[in-house]
Amino acid sequence: MSIESLRCKECGTACELDARYVCESCFGPLEVAYDHSSLDPAEAKRRIQAGSQGIWRYADFLPFEGRPGDPLEPGLTPLLRADRLAERLGIDAELWVKNDAANPTHSFKDRVVAVAVAKARELGFETVACASTGNLANALAAHAAAAGLGSYVFVPANLEEQKLLATGVYGTNLVGVRGNYDDVNRLCTQLAETRPWAFVNVNLRPYYAEGSKTLAYETVEQLGWELPDRVVCPIASGSLFTKVGHGFQEWLDLGLVDGEQPVFNGAQAQGCSPVATAFAAGWEICKPQRPETIAKSLAIGDPADGPYALEHARRTGGTIDAVSDEEIRDGIRLLAETTGIFTETAGGVTIGVLAKLAERGEIAAGERLVVYITGEGLKTLDATRDRFRMHEIDPDLDSFESEFRQAVTA
């Protein structure tokens, strides 16, 4: 038995493992605490390697007593060497891309939702819900359908059409709120008080957040039980960024891997960059912003885990940078052209920041670097519109020859 309690991140007060997220003593956020004192690292590795081909292979480090079953088990997404991308960026580094678009609903959100929905079932909830910037909506609707649970999904009404369609198809109650994500989140916090629902990122947030640690575990395993020197990771609420750090730290502390915590570089869009702004200004907390960016999946103006993301970036000697909408579009193109991976706007943000780090000369020769691509390009097609030209021809050889004459004679 390793899962112990929920514990306040601020004052350390412990409380029961149920659907709660705020400390009763100080109103700080709660997280899951484990007791791994009897863990043998060699035995833990064996249990992982004998496990399923997805996130439940890490069940010993997730908030369950047993191994949850799950028809839509996410995880074990490809970690690919990206030498051509490194070359284009002019860096002499060992560059890897973790393609988390290769999950059941094509974003990393399947990880957090799988954990939260399994917990919701364990706690006896019949209905799950969420406040989403898009990908969480897709994931929650799908995992609820697979588990046979009722669901309510709240999103900003102006979301990308692809993300609305890829949510509604699962037969959820899709609610488009006339407002931005922060308005949606406020409404859901109120609803969580009155409805008997498991809001995965509100009252189940401590469990939900644990799902992101599996990205760190997979990275270590896929690198042959070694750590990268640096990671580049997008930030919306800051949960993913900090929990990937927790995942590495947990395995360092328990002796499953040697070395030190990688340098963490966070990535935001300029049009919604409360954490990057606070980083640059040297603040310990974030000043809320009103989002205006094509990276809608990252458009959280008042990020719950912003202060922890700031602390983690600073502690590891990293940075948090922001890029413009144009740099996001360039980033999507650059990744596609050099790796064959088509990412959504959030991935464009990450690649845009990677390009900035390369330009500033922050990436040392020989460094091992992992970039987290968290979502799929087909969900944000508008970001690639008008970025290339189709050659339209008549169905005959002459037409082809005249269109491509220059190419042929060149």
Ligand X SMILES: *Cc1c(COP(=O)(O)O)cnc(C)c1O
Per CB under 6 A, residues contacting ligand X are 107, 109, 135, 234-241, 297-298, 344, 346, 374-375
d(CA 171, CA 193): 25
Q: How many Cβ atoms are within 10 Å of 69's Cβ, its own excluded?
A: 10
CA-CA-CA-CA torsion for 42, 367, 218, 296, nearest 10 degrees?
Answer: 150
Least separation in angstroms between CB 381 and ligand X = 15
Rank residues 251 and 308 by Cβ distance to ligand X and give the closer one. Answer: 308
Which partner, ligand X, Zn ion, none, binds residue 261 by CB below 5 to 8 Å per kind?
none
Which partner, ligand X, Zn ion, none, binds residue 26 by CB below 5 to 8 Å per kind?
Zn ion
Instruction: Give the angle subtended at the CA of 364 by the CAs of 311 and 254, to the nearest 5°.
Output: 50
**Cβ(117)–Cβ(200) under 8 Å?**
yes
Instruction: Give the C-alpha distances (Å, rounded to integers) separating 145 from 131, 160, 168, 371.
Output: 17, 22, 11, 31
Least separation in angstroms between CB 221 and ligand X = 21
Rank residues 338 and 345 by Cβ distance to ligand X and give the closer one. Answer: 345
| Strand, helix or coil for residue 328 | helix
Here the tokens at position 330 are 């360039």
Closest Cα to residue 226, out of 253, 254, 262? 262
Least separation in angstroms between CB 202 and ligand X = 13
Rank residues 134 and 256 by Cβ distance to ligand X and give the closer one. Answer: 134
Least separation in angstroms between CB 369 and ligand X = 18
Backbone angles phi, psi at 376, to 5 degrees: -95, 140
Least separation in angstroms between CB 9 and Zn ion = 8
**Cβ(333)–Cβ(168) under 8 Å?**
no
CA-CA-CA-CA torsion for 209, 212, 213, 218, nearest 10 degrees?
Answer: 160
Give, as one character, the DSSP assignment of residue 305.
T
Which partner, ligand X, Zn ion, none, binds residue 266 by CB below 5 to 8 Å per kind?
none
Give, as one character, the DSSP assignment of residue 326.
H
Here the tokens at position 208 are 């939900």
Interaction mask 8-27, Zn ion, x per CB under 5 A:
x-xx-x---------x-xx-
Interaction mask 274-293, Zn ion, x per CB under 5 A:
--------------------
Closest Cα to residue 188, out of 172, 206, 200, 173? 200
Rank residues 256 and 274 by Cβ distance to ligand X and give the closer one. Answer: 274
Which residue is listed with tokens 């488009």? Answer: 176
Least separation in angstroms between CB 26 and ligand X = 23
Give, as one character, the DSSP assignment of residue 404.
T
Does residue 51 touch Zn ion according to CB under 5 A?
no
Which partner, ligand X, Zn ion, none, binds residue 156 by CB below 5 to 8 Å per kind?
none
Which partner, ligand X, Zn ion, none, binds residue 28 by CB below 5 to 8 Å per kind?
Zn ion
Q: How many Cβ atoms are within 10 Å of 259's Cβ, its own excluded?
A: 13
Rank residues 256 and 327 by Cβ distance to ligand X and give the closer one. Answer: 327
Rank residues 26 and 280 by Cβ distance to Zn ion and give the closer one. Answer: 26
Chain centre distance of CA 266: 12
Rank residues 307 and 375 by Cβ distance to Zn ion and give the closer one. Answer: 307
Least separation in angstroms between CB 373 and ligand X = 9
Rank residues 44 and 248 by Cβ distance to ligand X and give the closer one. Answer: 248
Does residue 28 touch Zn ion according to CB under 5 A?
yes
Closest Cα to residue 99, out of 84, 117, 81? 81
Which partner, ligand X, Zn ion, none, binds residue 339 by CB below 5 to 8 Å per kind?
none
Interaction mask 210-249, Zn ion, x per CB under 5 A:
----------------------------------------
Least separation in angstroms between CB 392 and ligand X = 33
d(CA 320, CA 231): 12
d(CA 313, CA 277): 13
Least separation in angstroms between CB 342 and ligand X = 13
Which partner, ligand X, Zn ion, none, binds residue 346 by CB below 5 to 8 Å per kind?
ligand X
Which partner, Zn ion, ligand X, none, binds residue 25 by CB below 5 to 8 Å per kind?
Zn ion
Please report, as a single letter, which amino acid is at residue 321.
D
Rank residues 242 and 384 by Cβ distance to Zn ion and give the closer one. Answer: 242
Binding site for Zn ion (CB under 5 A): 8, 10-11, 13, 23, 25-26, 28
